[in-house]
Amino acid sequence: MDKKVDELRSILKKYGQEHLLNHYETLNETSKKELLNQIELINFELINSLYHSTKKEEKHREDKITPIDYVDKYKLYDDYKHYENIGKKAIKEGKLAAVTMAGGQGTRLGHKGPKGTYDIGLDSHKSLFELLSDNLKEEGKKYGVTIPWFIMTSRENNKETLAFFEKNKYFGYQKDKNIFFFIQGELPMIDTEGKILIGEDGFIKQAADGHGGIYESLVKSEMTKRMKQMGIEWIFIGGVDNCLVKMVDPVLMGIAIDKEVTVACKSVVKANPQEKVGVFCRRNGKPNVIEYSEITEEMAEARDEEGELLYGESHILCNLFRVDAVERMGANPLPYHVAYKKATYRNKEGKLIVPDSPNAYKFEAFLFDAFGEVDDMAILRVKREEEFAPVKNADSAGVDCPRTARELYKKFYHID
């Protein structure tokens, strides 16, 4: 072990991260091993380049942004039935599974514990996980199948998530038969000097690598392999925090199959041109999502001859993929975006520091950055009031919060 420590020390020195072993001698044998393993797994070159990226403004000025085609679910007329029948057939044949991304930290909501365990305040006191499971089970019944459910957690919330499901008897699902859990990847957090942080527990401070980590983790955890063995060809990937998410949609699936695309996404039209949401577009010819901060006012206001916004289709994290497309996306690393966050850590002397303002960089990949892997995708505009009730913020924010989500949920399901 001493030899390994020496080797790691010299690597750490090369990258200016020697402090990671400052308290090594004070640890017991098991913790020593764990810390060394953690250090061995760090890609220091990547961390270096990510740190340098924090010094540059993230700009895509040279990118050519153009509008992308979409269809409105309620303006499909005769095609509606045609697509629906194709989708229904595939669902009945067991070709669809649902994937829920539940690895996020839910910082804005401020709930202690995994976001999926959050009770949005309905009389039933059902958690987000239970609301999602209700929807999946109900839809499955329509087609005489159980829709397999795959749940992505993070190292931070995996144990608590599993305990929650166990306590709730997996909401009627059977573990490792039709409900599966897998853990997403993570990356060390660094301070403003580029130093990797040590967390409260004395180990490297790591944070989940963003919802874009979904592809790599589905492949690495061999979930895609398992899906294929189960005859699953399509997966709907959605967030845990939209209590109106419709994961089983034969029309969406029928369009994807009929148009022979490997990705089909749902959108809702922007509430107003200035709404702060990412919208679908083409970036250098390829499907993508453009953030509200990247779009000019002129683009945000631009309309087509029918009066529809040219960049008005919001990305709501409701996307359907062919499993083989996910495998391809998982093979190529996505770019990381930087977020400046508050992170409790131990300083060089081992003292616990609890900051009251942001002090550290976190790196996240975004799911939609993989859209560029495909030449074309289908976009289906759905109704906001039917499919989108996000729980992002605490009630005090007044938008996308438990109160608004609860109201939308009750309205949709006609609950008084």
Segment lying near ligand UTP (by CB under 6 A), choices 15-23, 57-65, 101-109, 250-258: 101-109
Label residue 168 exposed, middle or buried (CB < 10 Å: 0-12, 13-18, 19+). Answer: middle
- Residue in 4, 108, 226, 410 binding ligand UTP, rule: CB under 6 A: 108
Label residue 260 exposed, middle or buried (CB < 10 Å: 0-12, 13-18, 19+). Answer: exposed
User: How many residues at the interface with ligand UTP, by CB under 6 A?
Assistant: 22
270 binds ligand UTP (CB under 6 A): no
Q: How many residues does the chain have?
A: 416
- Residue in 8, 36, 120, 152 binding ligand UTP, rule: CB under 6 A: 152
Which among 218, 97, 182 has a CA at the least distance from the CA of 146? Answer: 97
Residue 194, H or E segment: none
Instruction: Scan for tokens 């924090």, then name that residue.
Output: 54
211 binds ligand UTP (CB under 6 A): yes
67 binds ligand UTP (CB under 6 A): no
Structure tokens at 29: 């044998």
185 binds ligand UTP (CB under 6 A): no
- Specify the residue, 87 or 238, whose C-beta has the smaller distance to ligand UTP: 238
104 binds ligand UTP (CB under 6 A): yes
- Specify the residue, 196 or 391, whose C-beta has the smaller distance to ligand UTP: 391
337 binds ligand UTP (CB under 6 A): no
Segment lying near ligand UTP (by CB under 6 A), choices 91-99, 233-241, 263-271, 318-326: 233-241
- Residue in 17, 73, 86, 103 binding ligand UTP, rule: CB under 6 A: 103
- At its nearest, how many Å lie between ligand UTP and the CB of residue 211? 4
| Residues 365-404 within binding reach of ligand UTP (CB under 6 A) | 392
- At its nearest, how many Å lie between ligand UTP and the CB of residue 185? 9
Which among 70, 134, 101 has a CA at the least distance from the CA of 266? Answer: 70
Calculate the alpha carbon distances from 21 to 138, 198, 203, 297, 349 in Å: 53, 10, 10, 50, 12
- At its nearest, how many Å lie between ligand UTP and the CB of residue 161? 10
- Specify the residue, 209 or 233, whose C-beta has the smaller distance to ligand UTP: 209
Residue 311 CB neighbours (<10 A): 24
- At its nearest, how many Å lie between ligand UTP and the CB of residue 77? 34
According to DSSP, the β-strands at 71-72 and 378-381 are parallel
Is residue 337 a contact partner of residue 366, using CB atoms and an 8 Å limit?
yes
- Specify the residue, 213 or 287, whose C-beta has the smaller distance to ligand UTP: 213
Structure tokens at 166: 């166990």
- At its nearest, how many Å lie between ligand UTP and the CB of residue 81? 32
Segment lying near ligand UTP (by CB under 6 A), choices 78-86, 202-210, 221-229, 293-301: 202-210
184 binds ligand UTP (CB under 6 A): yes
| Residues 71-90 within binding reach of ligand UTP (CB under 6 A) | none
- Residue in 67, 87, 106, 140 binding ligand UTP, rule: CB under 6 A: 106
Interaction site with ligand UTP (CB under 6 A):
101-108, 115, 152, 184, 208-211, 213, 239-241, 317, 364, 392
